[in-house]
């Protein structure tokens, strides 16, 4: 029997985009999906849209919570699937076969801990904001240096990882998903499967994407996992660059080179 995946959507006052996200999930062709929606007490009509599709939703709840990662943890506790994926309001899969492709490695190899695809972040007008890279850890450091973590939307992982690493750390306001993903990347204990294909589209107006303060928090998280480095100073400058020089390509190249040198000097290796 194919493994069950629990797909979790969190939302608060997302009436503009929640229907698109729901339709993307319920149109997936994979045959063993549990769909969970966690609403943070919306007042804009979001709950009415959820009710419209409730026959396609296995579990849903609407109540106030303390933020994104509290809601994600709530959804995880509700989930009964062996594999988890977080596809939040405003995000949608690139095709109706995306979950099929993501689940294939899990169904073929019981030792796989997580599958990571690529994601394309889009502006509200549909134009591309950025495209995540999906090579080993060097590119993930490059992404985080630009305040662009490996995408949690394209991250499919065993629920059992939470037994090892705990739930999403709610002391973080912006970087708990990055902390969780990078903790797994950093450990040779977990077998990965990388797919160089766009799995999801995600809008950039989410709290963890748009806030300049997220850069500072992400770098504190980065330091905790990988250790401090002179190159991290460049990453902290991102806080100011994001406010005043958002198109500064030279800065991005410096952070990319810094991330590569950091990897080589700390002798971190990515396993396949």
Q: Are residues 96 and 146 in the same domain?
A: no
Q: Are residues 2 and 87 in the same domain?
A: yes
Q: Which of 56, 73, 108 is the last residue of a domain?
A: 108
Enter the pTM of the model: 0.79
Q: Are residues 115 and 104 in the same domain?
A: no
Identify whether the C-beta of residue 242 lies closer than 8 Å to the C-beta of residue 212.
yes
Beta strands at 59-62 and 33-39: parallel, antiparallel or unpaired: parallel
Identify whether the C-beta of residue 61 lies closer than 8 Å to the C-beta of residue 159.
no
The pLDDT, as a whole number, for residue 181 is: 86
Q: Are residues 253 and 128 in the same domain?
A: yes
Q: Which of 108, 132, 159 is the last residue of a domain?
A: 108
Q: What is the pLDDT of residues 68-109, one digit of tens each?
A: 999 999 999 999 999 999 999 999 999 999 999 999 999 999
Contact residues for 66 (Cβ-Cβ < 8 A; gap 6+): 170
Q: Are residues 100 and 118 in the same domain?
A: no
Number of domains in the chain: 2
- In DSSP terms, 191 is beta-bridged to 112
Sites in the chain below the pLDDT cut of 50: 135-148, 208, 230, 239, 260, 262-272
Q: Are residues 182 and 260 in the same domain?
A: yes
The tokens for 96 are 């109706």
Q: Which of 74, 92, 108 is the last residue of a domain?
A: 108
Q: Are residues 53 and 64 in the same domain?
A: yes
Q: Are residues 45 and 149 in the same domain?
A: no
* Range(s) of the domain holding residue 219: 110-272
Q: Are residues 176 and 135 in the same domain?
A: yes
Burial track 225-238 (b if 16+ CB lie within 10 A, e otherwise):
ebeebebbebbbbb
Q: Are residues 186 and 234 in the same domain?
A: yes
The pLDDT, as a whole number, for residue 127 is: 65
Q: Are residues 230 and 267 in the same domain?
A: yes
The pLDDT, as a whole number, for residue 272 is: 24
Q: Are residues 80 and 151 in the same domain?
A: no
CATH number at residue 84: 3.90.550.10
Q: What is the pLDDT of residues 191-208, one digit of tens each?
A: 999 888 899 988 876 554
What is the C-alpha to C-alpha distance for residues 46 and 48, in angstroms, rounded to an integer?
Answer: 5
């Amino acid at each position: 029997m194919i493994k069950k995946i629990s797909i979790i959507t969190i939302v608060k006052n997302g009436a503009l985009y929640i229907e698109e996200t729901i339709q993307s999930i319920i149109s997936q062709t994979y045959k063993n999906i549990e769909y969970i929606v966690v609403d943070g007490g919306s007042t804009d009509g979001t709950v009415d849209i959820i009710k419209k599709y409730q026959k396609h939703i296995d579990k849903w709840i609407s109540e106030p919570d303390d933020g994104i990662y509290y809601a994600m943890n709530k959804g995880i506790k509700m989930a009964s699937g062996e594999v988890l994926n977080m596809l939040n309001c405003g995000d949608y899969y690139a095709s109706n076969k995306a979950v099929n492709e993501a689940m294939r490695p899990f169904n073929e190899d019981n030792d796989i801990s997580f599958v990571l695809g690529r994601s394309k972040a889009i502006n509200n007008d549909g134009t591309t904001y950025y495209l995540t890279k999906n090579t080993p850890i060097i590119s993930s450091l490059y992404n985080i240096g630009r305040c662009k973590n490996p995408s949690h939307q394209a991250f499919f992982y065993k629920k059992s990882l939470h037994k090892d690493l705990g739930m999403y750390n709610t002391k973080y306001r912006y970087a708990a998903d990055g902390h969780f993903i990078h903790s797994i990347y950093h450990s040779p204990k977990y077998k990965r499967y990388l797919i160089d294909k766009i799995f999801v589209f995600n809008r950039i107006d989410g709290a963890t994407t748009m806030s300049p303060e997220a850069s500072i928090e992400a770098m504190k998280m980065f330091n905790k996992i990988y250790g401090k480095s002179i190159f991290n100073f460049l990453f902290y400058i991102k806080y100011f660059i994001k406010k005043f020089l958002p198109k500064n390509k030279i800065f991005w190249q410096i952070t990319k080179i810094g991330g590569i040198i950091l990897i080589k000097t700390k002798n971190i290796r990515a396993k396949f």
